Structure 1
Amino acid sequence: MTLRLYDTRAQQLRDFVPLDPGNVTIYVCGATVQSGPHIGHVRAALSFDILRRWLSHRYDRVTFVRNVTDIDDKVLVNATDSEPWWALAYRMEQEFTAAYSAIGILPPTYEPRATASIPQMQELITTLIDRGHAYASPDGSGDVYFDVRSWSEYGALTHQSLDAMEAAADADPRGKRNPQDFALWKGAKPDEPADATWSSPWGDGRPGWHIECSAMAKRYLGSEFDIHGGGLDLRFPHHENELAQSTAAGEGFARYWVHNGLVTVDGQKMSKSLGNFTLAADILAKQDPLVVRYALAAAHYRSSLDLSASSYAEADAALQRISTFIARVHRSLPAVPDASRTGQLPTAFSAAMDDDLGVPQALAVLHETVRRGNAAMDAGGDAEAGVAFAEVDAMIRILGLDELASGDGDSGAEASALNALVQVMITQRAQARADKDWTSADRIRDAIAAAGIVLEDTSDGTHWSIDG
């Protein structure tokens, strides 16, 4: 099977052929840390976490770089006298890391901060000036711009005509040759903190947003790498500008462009600028992190995702079906298979993941395997149940649902509450049977069954699982 990914630049699915099968390289645009993460940020990070996990399964090694933009207009605006920009950026970076870690997103191989690569940015800007694709503002302000009309391939990523593009709004237009020219270096301004500037050949100032990622990608992954990732909202102008400045400087840059869909609210993208966002911390305070991971992963990574209370309820129920099956195996099989040695991914699961990371279809295979395993146990087929268990274990590890593998049958606070209620009903049913009150025993059994719960009476007590 061949892994296929949707390449935004090609506007089609492409067979993924890495530069080096022994080391797949990925650069993903990380957070601009002016404030804490909303759930859309977490969804984006999760999309590439799952891609990384699948690539790690398919290839020997994955080098995964996700940057932190710790110097930016928005960071400076949100700073205060009591919390300077660099302190705010560090505190917010920790909030992003905490949210990512909570739902099991793996830490990147490298996570560079923009402020640590200023010399590399200046080197790239110098190359662009020398090649005739950038210019310093003639007014002596210290601004440096990329000359979009000097690069005939500008617009190649998003397939736009230059004349149809709006003016670049990322810097003061003073000294611009063309309205669409974007900032590579921003000259220092009197109202900005003195410690937010660096010396340069063009005067004191700080880097533009776009040049940061181009410089860091080259520094950590080389002149050409496999995959550049990010949210759909970054395609223009950010990724378009990255592609232009890097290729104009003579770099091969990214061979595949992969973008995740956005979390939406009433059809609009969730955005700090629109004020319609839900902070990740607020969601994680109410929902089990594993439930959040499942809910965010359940839709295809390129699709829009409109989250609601039912999204988390459905995710919790789905996780409960998996965890109760695993608990049942641990409880009932004479010898639980060592899934780390015996677990084979079902062909249908691998095919789904190879088809542009089809997680919804992969989850369908996972749940079908759970149903097959439960049916085998009902029929006394321990061997078949063991095979299903090993496959389930292999699949949940690929999807980052490893916590389910413990076999305790508990996927969070809601699962604990459900277990407590069912155990009370099991106790009441047992007492009714002991009293030979068969009417009451049957009524309790029927109420449990109506809720989609299956009871299993064994020599060591009655156990329950969710039907499915």
Structure 2
Amino acid sequence: MTLKLYDTATRSVREFVPLRADEVSIYHCGLTVQASPHLGHIRKEVVFDVLRRWLTNQGFRVKVVANVTDIDDKILSKSAENGEDWYALAYRFERELHDAYASLGCIQPTYEPRATGHIPEMVELILELIARGHAYVAPDGSGDVYFDVASWPRYGELSGQKVDEMEPATDADPRGKRDPRDFALWKGHKAAEPLTASWPSPWGRGRPGWHIECSAMAGKYLGESFDIHGGGIDLRFPHHENELAQSSAAGHEFANYWMHNAWVTMAGEKMSKSLGNTALVTEVTKRYNPRAVRFFLLAPHYRSTIEFSPEDDDTRGSLTEAEKAIARIDSFMSRAFEKIGEGFHAYAPYSLPFWPQFAAAMDDDLGTPAATAVLFEAVRAGNQALAAGDSGATRDIFFAVTGMLDVFGLNPLAPEWSDENTDQDLTTVVDGLVGALLEQRATARAAKDWATADAIRDTLAATGLKITDTPDGATWSLEK
């Protein structure tokens, strides 16, 4: 199959062709850590985690960079209200973000740069834009630097807007702007702001504007061109539009594909901290199985809106229904494992029943609704095989379902869903599964069947396990 993705820039579904033959580079905008993360924030993390898992399943090495915006107007404002140092507030909520990642089984980014750690790169990029005639220092002595929107004819290409119809940029005082739509690249230090929230620059002490941060960090870690830039649809304008403009104006090719997931809404309104209609990840995962919360966020297509009801009225798509779905999956997995016992073997999912339909759905713009339908079709068939006492069909379907759950990040036996409180039965299952696969691998290596040995290793690596060969045999551990 060939993966196709909807590209926001072209407003069309395009065949995904990575820039490098065996590696995919992804940058997605992380949070401005000014408050606790809610379901609207974490949906983006789940969407791109599933994308990463699917690409890994298809044999790519995947590099994911997701920034943390830890300096911002809102961070300064909220920390002042709290009587708290701005950096302490940002760090506190950054740790909450990491906890939210972990609670929903998301693989950590390859790297997670902070904006405050990349001021030199931002200054360098701003100087390049000034030299090329696409940015200017405000003449009012404020120390502000702006991107000159009128100097870049392509401005508006990502969001499809015409410049003349755009609202003024509200990220800085308009007094020093040539055009109200010009946006801030650098903000001069203000007397009312803490000195710790400023850095030296050619224009005096100050701090970066929001948009320049991501351009600088993406460029540093992924190069002047990379495969996919993503985020929530609310970032398409102005944030991603401005990123694209300033990076392109600096001579960088930047992102080859743009992906945006839709909102999570409450009562038809975008879930938002500013509107006060949020469902915090920490609270929702106390009420519901975290795997069900993850399923709730990934089962609808990533470009469709999810409506969250705090009352959870058992309507289709609710978290209660998600819990029932997870229970159906787990019931089959538990019964099937008990049936096949030690008879499992290394597997290649693409050779198993239901996998071609699943792969076709995932290749169609990450079509999780169709893919979850295939998953439950497989579970139904697996239950029928169990009832008929057909151990061969049960085994094959068990492994097919396991592969699908690995892609979704929902495999109950995967390391991300086990912790120090995991019961002994589940620990025994994990040890047995991995141990048997390692024995299969050792047999293949002894027979110089390197293809099978490598397939087993890759299967285990895709679930987050590191295999180490020692003189006494292979051992496994969780990837750090």
TM-score for the superposition, normalised by structure 1? 0.85
Matches within 5 A, 1:15-414: 15-80=15-80, 82-308=83-309, 309=312, 310=314, 311-333=318-340, 335-338=342-345, 344=351, 346-403=355-412
Are residues 394 and 229 of structure 1, via their aligned partners in 2, closer, same or farther at CA, if it must alter by over 3 Å?
Answer: same
Mapped partners of 2:279, 2:124: distance in 1: 39
Indicate the SS of the match to 1:52. helix
Indicate the SS of the match to 1:174. helix
Larger Rg: 1
Indicate the SS of the match to 2:176. coil
Mapped partners of 1:35, 1:229: distance in 2: 21
Identity %: 56
Aligned to 2:461: none
Q: CA deviation at 1:378?
A: 1.3
Kept in 1, the 8 Å contact 2:350–2:356? The answer is: no
Are residues 383 and 160 of structure 1, via their aligned partners in 2, closer, same or farther at CA, if it must alter by over 3 Å?
Answer: same
Are residues 196 and 114 of structure 1, via their aligned partners in 2, closer, same or farther at CA, if it must alter by over 3 Å?
Answer: same
Q: CA deviation at 1:342?
A: 6.7
Q: CA deviation at 1:326?
A: 1.1
Q: CA deviation at 1:21?
A: 2.2
Kept in 2, the 8 Å contact 1:326–1:404? The answer is: no
- Which 10-residue stretch deviates more, 132-141 or 379-388? 379-388
Mapped partners of 1:341, 1:208: distance in 2: 48
Mapped partners of 1:336, 1:395: distance in 2: 20
Indicate the SS of the match to 1:184. strand
Mapped partners of 2:414, 2:371: distance in 1: 18
Indicate the SS of the match to 1:258. strand
Aligned to 1:8: 8
Mapped partners of 1:38, 1:334: distance in 2: 40
In structure 2, the gaps of 5 or more residues are 422-480
Question: Which one-letter code corresponds to 1:91 in the other structure?
Answer: R
Kept in 1, the 8 Å contact 2:147–2:246? The answer is: yes
Aligned to 1:429: none
Indicate the SS of the match to 2:6. strand
Are residues 119 and 10 of structure 1, via their aligned partners in 2, closer, same or farther at CA, if it must alter by over 3 Å?
Answer: same
Q: CA deviation at 1:82?
A: 4.6
Q: CA RMSD in A?
A: 1.8
In structure 1, the gaps of 5 or more residues are 413-468
Q: CA deviation at 1:335?
A: 3.9
Question: Which one-letter code corresponds to 1:63 in the other structure?
Answer: K
Q: CA deviation at 1:150?
A: 0.3
Mapped partners of 1:304, 1:347: distance in 2: 27
C-alpha distance after superposition, 1:219-270 (max 9, x if no partner)? 0100000000000000000000000000000000001000001001121111
Mapped partners of 1:177, 1:313: distance in 2: 53
Kept in 2, the 8 Å contact 1:326–1:405? The answer is: no
Mapped partners of 1:26, 1:192: distance in 2: 34
Q: CA deviation at 1:351?
A: 0.4
Indicate the SS of the match to 2:95. helix
Indicate the SS of the match to 2:384. helix
C-alpha distance after superposition, 1:341-394 (max 9, x if no partner)? 677461000000000001111111111111111111211211111111110111
